[in-house]
Structure 1
Amino acid sequence: MKAVCATDLSAASEAAIENETCLECLGRIGVEKMHLVTVIPSNVHRGMPGINFEKRRKRALSRYRSVIEDAGFAVEIHVVRGTPHRRINGIASTVGADLTVVGSRGESPLVNRVIGSTARNLARTSVVPLLVNRIEREAEVPDVIRQHLFRRMLFATDFSENAARAFDAFSYLRHATEEVLLVHVRTPKDPDPENADGAARLASLASELEQWGIEIETEIRQGDPAAEILAAEAAYEPATVLLGSRGHSRLRRLLLGSVSEEIVARSGGNVLLVPPERKA
């Protein structure tokens, strides 16, 4: 597997990239090569006096490269210009990446109403599974919040086609996963008011994971999907929440409100978001 690791060279990015336990987890799920990507924003001009942005960023990435190579990965460095989420997605497509990893400190409720963070834009537009690695917000020397990325998972499903695609990620996650909470949130639109079908479908998913020796719990909740998934996360305290994204049209990418975007913005831990399959 190939992973794109996006960094803005901040302390938060450094924490996500250089954490030994996180690197070990990525290795356990089959990642063999890392593409380290940093994007110089379009509004930073080459001619700004006294500053060689490309040289400074390559030097910083070289430090990360040594750490990651010592952990057993092959590494390639990319320093590019443009809009961060677009260039990150472009490189992921070009190199045939299986995963994009980005560190995020999270945002305040006010900032969450404004489009602009790279993590949130990637949540809307990522062309491959996106791992948002949550970093401490207030610490001067930040660290990752939950190091064992895939040991304890929460999988949220609405039984849609793309939820099934997200569940398929356990084909590689199982090598690092020990416990999973399977969650389905029933809404007023559900045709199954007694939850009989939902419970049966969760049980079917549980039996698949149990064949791999994974400990399973299941839970059916009722209400707003994003709020209930976040409540389940707070109670269960998984390392990572796994869910699918339905994807959006070009117009709807300008709007906030999808369940996946809310989870990426407000989750207390890591989030692994699986996008729809790309059309030929």
Structure 2
Amino acid sequence: MTGKSAVLATDLSTASETMIESETGLNCLSRIGVDRIHLVTVVPANVHSGMPGIDFEKRRKRGLRRYRETVEAAGFDVETHVVRGTPHRRINGIAGAVGADLILVGSRGKSPLENRVIGSTARNLARTTVVPLLVDRIERGVDDPETVRRHLFKRTLFATDFSENAERAFETFEYLRHATEEVTLVHVRSPKDDTGDEGDVEARLGELEDRLDSWGLEARTDVRRGDPAAEILAAEREHEPSTLLLGSRGRSRLRRLLLGSVSEEVVVNATGNVFLVPPPRSA
């Protein structure tokens, strides 16, 4: 595998610390070919260094130094970036500038506030990222949180509507397979489904199974009926994968919020990790 680079975004919170100090998580990144990590923290534009008793930039630089030692000890080359501005915009900007292959961000999962289910930065990144985005779910409501799923990609649930971008997401198994053991292929037949009859669907899923088998991955299929987002989330609850993989824009031609409505609902409501693969930048 050629070396890959990842932007690991942190706000120095407990959730970020848990994500960075997860030895298993760092090992998963290494196994999929990541050898360089860019640690990024963003000082919000409305925070000023002259505010009484507060020096956010110095505090964040100290925090990044500690994180850098942890990540370097795990065998990665590390660069740190302390920048100012709107978090998701600066994180996307750095990912583009350094040619990152993916962005990793921690999330404390479902919030008691219904309309703020994941952190605003993670949600905004999900809507706007131009490189694959991994939302690493962290326990909430405890003083010493752990990652919700210990392994990032060991058991992957891949949701497909057979669209071009779903195929693009599937192609990530070319490198995810080095950290994956089993895959559940999920397709949801909705009332407006135009992907063919059941025989066609089974045949197309069978082709994906064969490709996974050629990579040495155990695969199974799950064909469901109903609302796509609701059924994908139901499949996650049933199969309990390490990570749910899907394209960030599917068959819908409506570009609501720059993210397919199904993908957004899955990111917001999934229990475990979500790996979103966006269309090419030119799209």
TM-score bracket relative to the smaller structure: over 0.9
Task: Give the distance between the partners of 2:163 and 2:281, measured in 1 at CA.
Answer: 16
Task: Give the distance between the partners of 1:27 and 1:113, measured in 2 at CA.
Answer: 32
Aligned mate of 1:197, from 200, 212, 231: 200
Is the 8 Å Cα contact of residues 108 and 118 (structure 2) preserved in structure 1?
no
What letter is aligned with 1:127? V
What letter is aligned with 2:143? E
What letter is aligned with 1:241? L
Deviation string, structure 1 residues 46-91 (Cα, Å, up to 9, x no partner): 2202222111100001111001000000000000111111110000
Q: CA deviation at 1:257?
A: 7.3
Is the 8 Å Cα contact of residues 112 and 265 (structure 1) preserved in structure 2?
no
Identity between Structure 1 and Structure 2 (%): 69
Deviation string, structure 1 residues 9-44 (Cα, Å, up to 9, x no partner): 000110011100000000000000000000111111
Match runs of 1:183-194 below 5 Å: 183-191=186-194, 194=197
Deviation string, structure 1 residues 210-249 (Cα, Å, up to 9, x no partner): 0111110101101111100000010000000000011899
Q: CA deviation at 1:112?
A: 3.0
Which residue of the partner structure matches residue 69 of structure 1? 72
What letter is aligned with 2:140? R
Aligned mate of 1:165, from 140, 153, 168: 168
Task: Give the distance between the partners of 1:111 and 1:257, measured in 2 at CA.
Answer: 20
Unaligned 5+ segments in structure 1 are none
Which residue of the partner structure matches residue 253 of structure 1? 257
Call closer, same or farther: CA 1:213–1:85 in 2, change over 3 Å. Answer: same
Q: Partner of 1:127: helix, strand, or coil?
A: coil
Q: CA deviation at 1:107?
A: 2.7
Q: Partner of 1:8: helix, strand, or coil?
A: coil
Q: CA deviation at 1:116?
A: 6.7
Which residue of the partner structure matches residue 243 of structure 2? 240
Q: Partner of 1:175: helix, strand, or coil?
A: helix
Task: Give the distance between the partners of 1:162 and 1:42, measured in 2 at CA.
Answer: 34
Which residue of the partner structure matches residue 5 of structure 1? 8
Aligned mate of 2:277, from 270, 274, 279: 274
Which residue of the partner structure matches residue 174 of structure 1? 177
Is the 8 Å Cα contact of residues 151 and 179 (structure 1) preserved in structure 2?
yes
What letter is aligned with 2:69? S
Following superposition, which runs of at least 4 residues in structure 1 exceed 4 angstroms of deviation?
Answer: 113-116
Call closer, same or farther: CA 1:203–1:273 in 2, change over 3 Å. Answer: same
Task: Give the distance between the partners of 1:20 and 1:192, measured in 2 at CA.
Answer: 41
Which residue of the partner structure matches residue 48 of structure 1? 51
1:24 matched to 2:19: no
Q: How many residues align?
A: 279
Q: CA deviation at 1:260?
A: 1.0
Is the 8 Å Cα contact of residues 246 and 275 (structure 1) preserved in structure 2?
yes
Task: Give the distance between the partners of 1:115 and 1:192, measured in 2 at CA.
Answer: 32
Q: Partner of 1:185: helix, strand, or coil?
A: strand
Deviation string, structure 1 residues 127-152 (Cα, Å, up to 9, x no partner): 10000000001111111011111110
Is the 8 Å Cα contact of residues 264 and 271 (structure 1) preserved in structure 2?
yes
Which residue of the partner structure matches residue 123 of structure 1? 126
Is the 8 Å Cα contact of residues 109 and 117 (structure 2) preserved in structure 1?
no
TM-score under structure 1 normalisation? 0.94
1:230 matched to 2:236: no
Aligned mate of 1:103, from 101, 106, 114: 106
Q: CA deviation at 1:109?
A: 6.7
Deviation string, structure 1 residues 101-139 (Cα, Å, up to 9, x no partner): 000012337433689711111110001000000000111
Is the 8 Å Cα contact of residues 187 and 224 (structure 1) preserved in structure 2?
yes
Call closer, same or farther: CA 1:116–1:9 in 2, change over 3 Å. Answer: closer
Q: Partner of 1:180: helix, strand, or coil?
A: strand
What letter is aligned with 2:70? V
Unaligned 5+ segments in structure 2 are none
What letter is aligned with 1:227? A
Q: CA deviation at 1:253?
A: 2.2
Task: Give the distance between the partners of 2:117 and 2:142, measured in 1 at CA.
Answer: 24
Q: Partner of 1:62: helix, strand, or coil?
A: helix
What letter is aligned with 2:11? D
Is the 8 Å Cα contact of residues 115 and 121 (structure 1) preserved in structure 2?
no
Is the 8 Å Cα contact of residues 174 and 212 (structure 1) preserved in structure 2?
yes
Q: CA deviation at 1:199?
A: 1.0
Task: Give the distance between the partners of 2:18 and 2:111, measured in 1 at CA.
Answer: 20
